[in-house]
Structure 1
């Protein structure tokens, strides 16, 4: 079942993500927008903006604050 990531726009969330090579990562991101199956986020761990495929986000939960 796909994650409804749209409900987290404007929030920081912890996600489980499967990359294009099949590797799983756990990340804390701030969700900025969701459009056309793509999610624009600020990845706090990498301190950089990323565009992720919404279909590869396997789980998400809100976090009260991000790890800096």
Structure 2
């Protein structure tokens, strides 16, 4: 499976300061190793480097975009 636009996924992510976070995101686009998405928890637009995603999976039922 690959990360695709239009999907809501759960990620484990290593941020630039070295902190590992877990987030649910709604993917808007994937290009050149950069994932543009909305963080479901905060509602904020975000960009994630694909190389810093340590793990991901489709979200469990019940997690929706606002």
Deviations along 1:33-65, whole A, 9 cap, x unmatched?
A: 001111000101111110111110111110134
More helix by share: 1
Q: Could you tell me the TM-score, scaled by structure 2's length?
A: 0.84
Count of aligned pairs: 64
For residues 43 and 21 of structure 1, the distance between their equivalents in structure 2, rounded to whole angstroms, comes to 18
Q: 2:16 is matched with which residue: 5, 20, 30? A: 20
CA root-mean-square deviation: 1.8
> 1:41 and 1:65, CA in 2 relative to 1: closer, same or farther beyond 3 A?
farther
Aligned to 2:48, the other structure's residue is in SS state: strand
For residues 36 and 61 of structure 1, the distance between their equivalents in structure 2, rounded to whole angstroms, comes to 21
Regions of 4+ moved over 6 Å: none
Does 1:42 find its partner at 2:38? Answer: yes
- Report the CA distance between 1:66 and its aligned residue: 2.0
Name stretches of at least 5 consecutive residues in structure 2 with no aligned partner. Answer: none
Q: 1:9 is matched with which residue: 5, 11, 31? A: 5
